[in-house]
Each structure stands twice: as C-alpha cells, then as structure tokens.
Amino acid sequence: MKYNRILLKLSGEALMGDRQYGIDPVRLAGYAKEIKDVVDTGVQVAIVIGGGNIFRGVAGASNGMDRVQGDHMGMLATVINGLALQSACEDAGVPTRLQSAIHINEVAEPFIRRKAMRHLEKGRVVIFGGGTGNPYFTTDSAAVLRAIEIEADVILKGTRVDGIYTADPEKDKNATKFDFISFEDVLSKGLKVMDTTAFTLSQENELPIIVFDMNTSGNLLKLIKGEAIGTKVQL
C-alpha cells in the first residue's frame, strides 16, 4: 500500500446525498463500506467530518447570530455526524472510536493524541469531532491539525468533484483538471482547496493533500493502492 496512515476529510454536505439537509442513510452506508475496504488492507484511517449538512457557523453569523455561538453549534453538528458515521462503520464491522475536541463524555472520548494513535495502531478507525474546539477555525483546519498530530502520511479530501480545476467545472465547461499542483501555484492562482489557514498549515508541515471524488465507488481504495486519482497538492 502507498500509505500507512491517512486522514480522510469529508464534508458534512456529502452526507446529505440527494436530500436538502440532514443525513442520507444510503450515502452513509456507502461511505462506511469504502472505509472498511481500506481498513481491511491494514491502512490506518482517521476521519474529520464537517457539519454543514446540519449547521454552519458562518451562515449563522451572516444572519445576525453571534459568531462564537454559531461556531459552537457547528462543532456540535460535527459530533452528530461523527456519531452517525461511527454507527455506520460499526454496522459494517469496523471498530470505530469517536473523539471530540469538546468534552461530551457521555457520547465521545475526549481528544487525546496518544490514545488516538493507539486506537489507530490497533486497527480502529478514529473519527475526530468538534473541530479544533475553538471558534473561528474550520473543519479543514481541524483536519490538517489532527493529521499533523497523529503523523498521517496524507490528507485525502473527499469531495463531489474529481480533483482541482482551473475553474469551477460545474460552471465552466472549459475548466481543466490538474493531476499535480504545488502549494505555491494553488495560492497564486487563487484556487479553492481549503481555507487559507488550513492550507498554510499543511504547506508548512509538508503534508500532501489529495482532492478526489469520494462519491465514485472504489476511488478511496484505488488512492490507497497508489492509483492516480484526483489531484495531488505537494511541495
């Protein structure tokens, strides 16, 4: 296998499937199967998931809500999604632990780096909920931070498009896809991969990012095996 330990970043919106909000059980079960296929190869899997299918702090703030309160609500939404994904993974036969940056001891372990790494070494999937535990940081930042902390080999950002393009491929038919691109080129071209804080943190720690289509069955396993799926961002 190309990687020993990965951090998979999923958006909350991805869990909606064809719904307008909430969680689609079919999509959830599909993701759990994809994750199980990777775990079965012996690769260690950690996951950070967003909360946009339930609540987005930035959206709340734009409607007059206090930003800090809104971000805390968004963090709780990621815990809800984490619980759902944990349940789906365990239904698929994958031992899974949910760790939260916000202490909710009745439903999730607190985030403890050494404990998380021990779970991974034992073949358990670890889902990190609650973002970074601080307002004003996105789940992209949480994903990069956790990936660095657990010494992941790569961040795999699962999206609904198959990589990074010169423009939004859903709006511009002439947009062309990059197979590889440097951190500097992403920034200079103003391409949206992650928020700037997360992206800079990844660059400074020389942690590669692969953006790929998570909704195409088998893509995650192909990536783990070293196939050229999506777009790789590297130094």
Residue-level pLDDT at 186:
92
Residues in the chain: 235
* Grouped pLDDT means (10 residues each) for the chain, 235 residues: 94 89 94 97 97 82 85 95 98 98 96 98 98 95 98 95 89 92 92 90 96 94 94 92
The alpha carbon torsion through 165, 171, 175, 178 (nearest 10 deg) reads: 10
Domain ranges of the chain: 5-234
Q: Which of 30, 35, 72 is nearest to 51 (CA)?
A: 72
Q: At what angle do helices 139-149 and 113-121 cross, to 10 degrees?
A: 70
For the whole model, what pTM was predicted?
A: 0.94
Rounded to 5 degrees, what are φ and ψ at 70? Answer: -60, -45
Region label for 6, one of left (φ > 0), alpha (ψ between -120 and 50) or beta (otherwise): beta
pLDDT at position 153, please?
A: 97
Residue 149 is predicted with a pLDDT of 98
Q: Is residue 64 classed exposed, middle or buried when 0-12, 13-18 and 19+ CB atoms within 10 A define those classes? A: exposed
* pLDDT at residue number 36: 98
Q: Are strands 125-129 and 44-49 parallel, antiparallel or unpaired?
A: parallel
Rounded Cα distance between 45 and 234, Å, is: 21
- Is 3.40.1160.10 the CATH number for 5-234? yes
Cα separation, 59 vs 70, whole angstroms: 8
Of all helices (H) and strands (E), which one includes residue 233?
strand 231-234
DSSP 172-210: -TT--EESEEEHHHHHHHT--SS-HHHHHHHHHTT--EE
pLDDT of residue 128: 98
